């Protein structure tokens, strides 16, 4: 067992998009269920090995709801949630809400979105080609692609998209010069979403929000508050997380793994496997704490360690995805892995509902870039890239890229 007081507080600060803090590798080897002290002074358990993380995420005795109780242990830099959010519910309450919303995320419904996602990506890349390099890929593709899709899912009218985009981005981005900006944007978005719900009640559309308003399980349906909080969950997970996953993955390919980029240029059939490996390998979370911690509702044992009722437990997904007992050469980006059971989308009852849409957006973005801009490259030295500070995710401020002459238009015809 590691001592309660470590030389450095949890969460550790040495992570980057390239991988989690190296201390997690030490913990996996020496003390995979370790007790540490957080940056708020609270003792907590940190779980780092794959099998222990999976077991813990699937254990109903480890509660999400208890993390929202007043006085519950917290960690600075970790994502906070409110009691009514689906990610904060346990047991029958969670099952009820998830059952009502799952119908909007069936494989059939997500697959039906493919043509729309492709169209948005094509139009964005048309604009990139027309503008010419260098361009900021965050502004030109990584943000507007998932944001436009989320707007479509919620049924945001075309004339409102710009306002929606401005407030959604402000809500998801921490500004060290104006730390209250996200909360002001939250208030504006909440008002907008409530108005949108009222419109959809009067005149339903062909969108997810309309489906959720009408979704029923016998006589049960989503309340107004549940609809609003679920819309915000979509905005956070479906826009901000997706945008950063796309930008960080493309950066990893261009700067760290150019040979892999060229393989994808030469053989687009490799892209689905590449997406899975990028999800495993590229580290999205800046503080490695976005495994949504739990509180033990009763005494239990995990990974051979006794955990007492009331203890906080953090699961480090990025560490689990680097476990050598599961992934051969785990620190290597290998798109030829025969098996890749990563848990980038979580595990257990709280696994990410939008995982298929996230995969689709990544694959379409990478396919479009490799096909249309095969010699895409950084337009500035790597050292000049700027990252947002204080963010939950590793988030590029800008991503300047340039290229030679694009080889084809979005339909694949030679230009």
Over the stretch 239-263, which tens digit does the pLDDT of each residue have? 888 999 999 999 999 999 999 999 9
DSSP string across 309-372: TT-EEEE-HHHHTT-TTTSSSTTS--TT-S-----TT--GGGS-TTHHHHHHHHHHHHHHHHHH
Beta bridge partners of 305: 302
State residue 80's pLDDT score. Answer: 61
> Is the pLDDT reported for residue 415 higher than 70?
no
Over the stretch 87-121, which tens digit does the pLDDT of each residue have? 888 888 888 888 888 887 888 989 999 999 999 99
Averaging pLDDT over each range in 100-104, 144-148, 321-325, which range is the top one? 321-325
Q: Average pLDDT, stretch 207-233?
A: 80
Q: Where are the alpha helices (DSSP H) in 31-70?
A: 50-57
Which is it for strands 220-221 and 312-315: parallel, antiparallel or unpaired? unpaired
Percent of the chain with pLDDT over 70: 90
Q: Does 23-402 carry CATH code 3.80.30.20?
A: no
Count the neighbouring beta carbons within 10 Å of the beta carbon of residue 48. Answer: 30
- CA distances to 81, 215, 226, 229, 352 from 223, rounded to whole Å, are 18, 11, 5, 10, 22
Give this prediction's pTM: 0.90
Count the neighbouring beta carbons within 10 Å of the beta carbon of residue 22. Answer: 11
Q: Average pLDDT, stretch 51-61?
A: 97
More confident residue, 73 or 256: 256
Which is it for strands 294-296 and 43-47: parallel, antiparallel or unpaired? unpaired
State residue 160's pLDDT score. Answer: 85
Alpha carbon 11 to its chain's center: 19
**From its phi and psi, is residue 267 left (phi > 0), alpha (psi between -120 and 50) or beta?**
beta
Mean pLDDT for the chain? 87
Q: Average pLDDT, stretch 373-382?
A: 97
Q: Average pLDDT, stretch 381-393?
A: 86
């Amino acid at each position: 067992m590691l001592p309660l007081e470590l030389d450095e507080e949890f969460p550790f600060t040495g992570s980057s998009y390239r991988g989690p803090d190296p201390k997690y590798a030490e913990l996996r080897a020496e003390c995979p269920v370790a007790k540490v002290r957080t940056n708020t002074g609270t003792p907590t358990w940190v779980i780092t090995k794959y099998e222990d993380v999976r077991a813990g995420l699937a254990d109903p005795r480890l509660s999400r709801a208890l993390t929202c109780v007043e006085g519950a242990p917290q960690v600075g830099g970790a994502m906070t949630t409110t009691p009514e959010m689906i990610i904060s519910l346990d047991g029958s309450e969670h099952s009820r809400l998830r059952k009502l919303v799952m119908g909007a995320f069936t494989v059939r419904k997500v697959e039906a979105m493919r043509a729309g996602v492709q169209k948005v990506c094509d139009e964005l890349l048309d604009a990139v080609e027309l503008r010419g390099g260098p361009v900021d890929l965050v502004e030109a593709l990584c943000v507007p692609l998932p944001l436009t899709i989320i707007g479509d899912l919620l049924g945001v009218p075309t004339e409102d998209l710009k306002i929606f985009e401005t407030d959604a981005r402000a809500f998801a981005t921490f500004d060290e010069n104006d730390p209250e900006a996200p909360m002001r944007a939250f208030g504006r978005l909440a008002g907008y979403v409530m108005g949108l719900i009222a419109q959809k009640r009067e005149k339903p559309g062909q969108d997810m929000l309309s489906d959720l308003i009408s979704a029923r399980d016998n006589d049960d349906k989503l309340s107004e508050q549940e609809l609003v909080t679920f819309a915000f969950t979509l905005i956070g997970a479906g826009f901000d997380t997706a945008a950063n996953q796309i930008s960080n993955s493309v950066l990893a390919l261009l700067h760290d793994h150019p040979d892999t980029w060229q393989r994808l240029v030469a053989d687009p059939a490799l892209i689905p496997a590449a997406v899975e490996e990028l999800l495993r390998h590229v580290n999205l979370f800046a503080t490695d704490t976005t495994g949504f911690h739990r509180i033990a509702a009763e005494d239990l044992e995990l990974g051979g360690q006794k955990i007492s009722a009331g203890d906080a437990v953090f699961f480090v997904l990025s560490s689990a995805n680097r476990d050598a007992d599961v992934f051969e050469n785990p620190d290597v980006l290998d798109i030829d892995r025969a098996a890749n059971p990563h848990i980038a989308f979580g595990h257990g009852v709280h696994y990410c509902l939008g995982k298929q849409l996230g995969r689709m957006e990544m694959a379409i973005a990478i396919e479009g870039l490799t096909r249309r801009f095969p010699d895409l490259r950084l337009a500035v030295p790597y050292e000049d890239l700027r990252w947002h500070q204080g963010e939950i995710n590793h988030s590029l401020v800008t991503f300047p890229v340039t290229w030679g002459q694009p080889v084809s238009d979005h339909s694949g015809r030679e230009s």
